[in-house]
Structure 1
Amino acid sequence: MSQSSGPMPVLGKPAAIVALAVLTFNVCFISLYNISSISIALPLLMDEFKVSMSFIQWISIGYALAMGATSPLAGHLMRLYSLKRSMVVCLAGYTILAALSGLAHSLRMIIFFRALQGLCGAVFVPGTMVMIYQFIPRRYQTLFLTIQNVSLSLAPALAPIIAGVLIASLNWQWIFFINIPVGLLAVVLAAVCIPFEKGGDRLAIDWLGFGLVVAGCLAVFLSISLSSTPLGFSAPVIGLCLSGLCFLVLFGRQQKRSAMPIIDFSVLRNREYTLTLVGHVLSTILLAASPFIFAIMLQTGKGYSSAETASFMFAPALCAMVGAPLAQKLYSHLASKTVIAISWVLMAAGCLFIGLLGQVPLPALLALLAAQYLGLGMLGMPITDHGMRELPREQSNDGATLLNWICLLVTGLSVSVFTSIYERLNAYFIGHLAAAQACLESSQIIYIIIGIACLGGLLATFPLVKKAPGRS
């Protein structure tokens, strides 16, 4: 069903449109920045706190885990308390917790504050998507999606660069402090510019469903994380993972029977939405794993410093920024399916060639990374609009929430899985090769795996309906 059904509040004032565009960029950027920025600092933090990779990764995993476990509630909260109230409260909490993370002197406290930050951040990306499809006129929606996807593409690309500069010129605490001015600006914009809607007084939180989904997510994430410790894939770890999957299955079944579901899974009956959801999941693997593995490849495998690594990644990051407006330009002349396919080809080629030719000179590596980032920047807007515009407006909450939740789960799982794969590959190669060479061999294999996932995304594009360009 198309977006033509149902009333939509229209924001016609140019100043409000501009302010909401800035808010969209800020909110989406800080959400993913805080997942990716820490990757550049992991070697430094491992030395400073004297911990292993398996423990330090909880700075990232804790944030993604908390966000992923509570994100199914985002749409329900927006219906209950309104989008405006939800965004203002969560942005304020997020900013305060960023300051506390930077002031903390214990790694465990950093992990704790980051997890609370993830709770607040769960509403950000689905909130901006709901804003786009409920409050923004259709003629501006693809522009806002382009802004959103520029931000979502730039955040993981620029985060290591920003973090590297901050570490080199100040210290690692500023990775967190940089959130404060951005967060304060977002609070003001959300409070002033988001239209107010009265919350649903009769709605109540489905605590049984919420308990099932949180327990399931926690169990799955914890089992994946434990797999990279000496426990490995032991019976307790496998049992924990299976129990988490059972909780998630029960959550899905319970939601179908609930009168007030947290997520209305009937959106999956929409074929176009479901196919684009598969594409989002596969692109999230690249989004989560590539910056992390590439930083390790350059620092451990090739001996570059964190500052040098950050500077090298600037040009590929620019390609991600160029990708979204390029996709919007193509979108007015080509069908969304065609633009999506071109994006997947660029991403798959970049990943597979790094995997096969990872020991070529640095300029060639950066060119291949640039192709990845260009494709990633191009993909976000057309694949999101292709799926979301087919949902009725009253289901935009559920469509945005489900999309964000699944992608967050995949982000956290990707970090854990690829960390585990990297450590096991590196342990194998270290017995036969020098440390730097072992790192390169391990990283190349991971890039081949990511490239195969991109080919899967290309295959999922073929069944999409070919729609006329520039459809409004």
Structure 2
Amino acid sequence: MMGMTETASRATPSTGRAGERTQEAAGASPARGEPPDTGRSWVVSLLVLIVGMFMSVLDVTIVNVAIPAIQDDLGTTTEDVLWIATAYTLTLGVVVPLSSWLGDRFGLSRVYMATLLGFAAGSALCGLAWNLDSLIAFRVVQAVPGGIMPVVTLTMVYQIVPREKIGIAMGMYGLGIVFAPAVGPVLGGYLVENADWRLIFFINVPIGILGLVAAYLLLPDSGRGPRRPFDLLGFLTIGSGLFAILLALHEGEDWGWTSYPVLMLITFGLLGLALFVLIELEVAHPLLDVRVFRHWAFTNSLLLLSILTIGLFSVLFYVPVFLQQGQGLTAFEAGGRILPQALVVAVMMPLSGRLYDKIGARPLAITGFAISAYGTYLLCGINPDMTRGDVVVWTCVRAAGMGMAMMPVMTAGIASLPKEKVNEGSALNNVTRQVAGAMGLAVLTAMASGRQAQAMADRAALLPAATTELPALGLAGGDVIGMYAFVQRTQLDALASSYSDVFLVTALVTLLGALLAIPLRAGPANGHAGAPPEL
């Protein structure tokens, strides 16, 4: 970068190191996006990065399953215990924009190892928490490395992997993004039901330590980027803006979407993000270069990833909830019903990565979005009487399309940027997916609540106005149990109807993604070097 090169001497076999981590006095790294050591196997380095990525993403969904057990053990209210998840998400929104600057300042490989150690330490503290306040505080500590780690790993993938192999590499890397959230409920449910909820945190400690050792021994040193001053104003504006918006999205349903606090948070957040853009366009050394949005291929990829993320979150949230509420399954059993879709993704992502290197993103994305839209439409058939086979088939069809489309879209977007902008692109990619997931789930949940209330009102209106006795409902007099079953069935039907509407909207939005995918690049990956024209 800037004409400076890194000099790295290989260690002898007796050292056990992947390479001697030496640099020029200026401390600059190789040009971003170029593998620092093309002679060594990039697959090994990629697997080391996948460990950290998988661990950080898995933690999000595995904790959600344990919230009821944590509530019982710590003796707190449902509203208070949910701050375990809320505090983590809010912290992610604040720290992710720091990732690019930290990677340049200290070196990506060093930051990655530090985040592995920090995440393991934060997880251990969460497992040792003695009350709710301490657990929330330790979740904030855990979220700091948890937010930085995915950005750093994605940037490093583009450094260590040859350009012509980036598709298959991203297919492998993407398992951490999609496979981990689906495994989380199953693993979390098993640990909670058969052991203790604290194990969902302690399980990260040995994984983090082993990942740290592997990273130290096997990862090449990425070096440091150009030294640039810290953009404090940019950090304060984007951090406060994302914090306010994410808090409004998390609490909107409880506080009321038109309540004064929620409206003020949304207004403050939007103003903060607008001010951030103005600052970044003016300062000499921006925290995140928002000019990357001029590359339409990158901006379009963020829109497409937002659609896929909303679809992923809707399935991982609404299907297990309905299986537990509507069919009486445990969290572990409900997670097992949706686990096959994760296996489908595990097969499709590496396959789509291979195909991306040969045919490009466009055909895979269009086909994948169409299949995912159809699978989501099948989920409109959700009802209390659906079978295990129904759930498996519907979710697997949708997962096949998502597994085909997600990594080609993400890869094409990042690859469209100039090499020196990959770090900023990775940070914006993660921020966008987090905000899109939270915003999409909040909007869909608000819609589901409204539709459920309307469905209950419609069903109540079908009853005769003078219905005051059980025989009018076809029940024997005094049959209280039958009355309870009737009301419960009515509530489940209303819930199923509302979720069906949610999946219909999600299917239509996903189908729209197939149209947005038309401008994506087609053709072999190694035939398209360099960034496309800006807007």
Q: How far 1:436 moved relative to its partner? A: 3.1
Match of 1:36 in 2: 61
Give the one of 305, 314, 319 matched to 2:339.
314
| Residues 461, 53 of structure 1: alpha-carbon distance in 2 compared, 3 angstrom cutoff | farther
Give the structure 1 partner of residue 4 of structure 2.
Answer: none
Question: Residue 493 of structure 2 aligns with which residue?
Answer: 437
> Tell me, what secondary structure is at the counterpart of 2:303?
helix
Q: Which residue of 2 aligns with 1:57?
A: 82
Secondary structure of 2:57's partner?
A: helix
CA–CA separation in structure 1 for the residues paired with 2:68 and 2:33: 52
Moved more, 246-255 or 104-113: 104-113
Displacement of 1:418 in angstroms is 4.2
Instruction: Name the amino acid aligned to 1:24.
Output: L
1:467 deviates by 3.1
Q: Is the 8 A contact 2:352 2:405 kept in 1?
A: yes
Amino acid paired to 1:10:
P
What aligned pairs does 1:229-248 form with structure 2 within 5 A after superposition?
229-248=254-273
Deviation readout 1:97-150 (Å, 9 max, x if unpaired): 111112213233322222222211222222122112223222432232111112
Residue identity opposite 1:374 in structure 2: A
2:505 maps to 449
Which one has a bigger Cα radius of gyration? 2
**For residues 282 and 391 of structure 1, do their structure 2 counterparts lie closer, same or farther at Cα, with a shift above 3 Å needed?**
same
User: How much does 1:227 deviate?
Assistant: 1.6
Give the direction of change, closer, same or farther, for the CA distance of 1:376–1:185 in structure 2 (3 Å limit). Answer: farther
User: Are 1:75 and 1:262, in contact at CA under 8 Å, matched by a contact in 2?
Assistant: yes
After superposition, the C-alpha distances for 1:238-273 in whole angstroms (9 at most, x for unaligned) are: 122111111011001110111110111121111211
Cα distance, 1:6–1:123 mapped onto 2, change above 3 Å: closer
Q: Indicate yes or no: 2:389 matched with 1:379.
A: no
Cα distance in structure 2, aligned partners of 1:100 and 1:10? 36
Shift of 1:79: 0.7
Structure 1 residues 111-122: aligned runs within 5 Å: 111-122=136-147
Tell whether the 8 Å contact from 1:40 to 1:295 is kept in structure 2 after alignment. no
C-alpha change, 1:316 and 1:254, in structure 2 (3 Å) is: same
Q: Does 1:397 align with 2:423?
A: yes
Q: Given that residues 99 and 151 in structure 2 are in contact (C-alpha distance below 8 angstroms), is that contact kept between their aligned partners in structure 1?
A: yes
> In the TM superposition, what are the counterparts of 1:45-444 in structure 2 within 5 Å?
45-46=70-71, 48=73, 54-200=79-225, 202-359=227-384, 360-426=386-452, 429=455, 432=460, 434=488, 435-444=491-500
Q: 1:215 to 1:54 in 2, by over 3 A?
A: same
* Distance of 1:196 and 1:383 partners within structure 2: 28
- Alpha-carbon distance in 2 for matches of 1:418, 1:301: 19
The residue identity in structure 1 corresponding to 2:495 is: C
Q: Which deviations, in whole Å up to 9, do the C-alpha atoms of 1:304-337 show, x marking residues without a partner?
A: 1122112222222211111102212433553420
Flag structure 1 segments of 5+ consecutive residues without an equivalent: none
CA distance in 2, matches of 1:200, 1:351: 43
Structure 1 residue 53, shift from structure 2 partner: 5.3
Q: What is the distance in 2 between the residues matched to 1:413 and 1:200?
A: 34
1:123 match: secondary structure: helix
CA shift for structure 1 position 207: 0.7
In 2, Cα distance between equivalents of 1:12 and 1:228: 51
Equivalent AA in structure 2 for residue 380 of structure 1: M
Structure 1 residue 387 displacement after superposition: 1.6
How far apart are 1:69 and its partner, in Å?
2.0
Q: 1:381 deviation in Å? A: 2.1
The one-letter amino acid of 2:416's match is E
Task: Give the conservation status (yes or no) of the 8 Å contact 1:69–1:217.
Answer: yes
How much does 1:30 deviate?
A: 1.4
Number of aligned positions between the proteins: 468
- Say which SS state the counterpart of residue 404 (structure 2) adopts: helix
- CA deviation after TM superposition for structure 1 residue 199, in Å: 3.3
Distance in 1 of aligned mates of 2:171 and 2:345: 12
Mapped partners of 2:38, 2:397: distance in 1? 38
Cα displacement (A) at 1:450: 2.3
1:142-184 deviation per Cα after TM superposition (whole angstroms, max 9, x unaligned): 2321111122111111111111221222122222222112211
> For 1:395-449, what per-residue CA distance to the aligned partner results, in whole angstroms no more than 9, with x for missing partners?
1111111111111222333444444444555555566552433432332222223
The counterpart of 1:463, out of the listed 502, 506, 519, is 519
Q: Contact (CA 8 Å) 1:39, 1:292: kept in 2 or not? A: no
Report if the CA contact (8 A) 2:241-2:270 is conserved: yes
Q: RMSD value over aligned CA atoms?
A: 2.6
**Alignment CA distance shift 1:355-1:17 (3 Å):** same
Structure 2-normalised TM-score?
Answer: 0.81
User: Does 2:68 correspond to 1:12?
Assistant: no
Amino acid at match of 2:391: L
Q: Which runs of 5+ in 2 are unaligned?
A: 1-30, 461-486, 529-535
Distance 2:440 2:433 in 1: 10
Q: Is the 8 A contact 1:71 1:122 kept in 2?
A: yes
Amino acid of the structure 2 residue aligned with 1:375: G
Quick one: percent identity of the two aligned structures?
Answer: 26
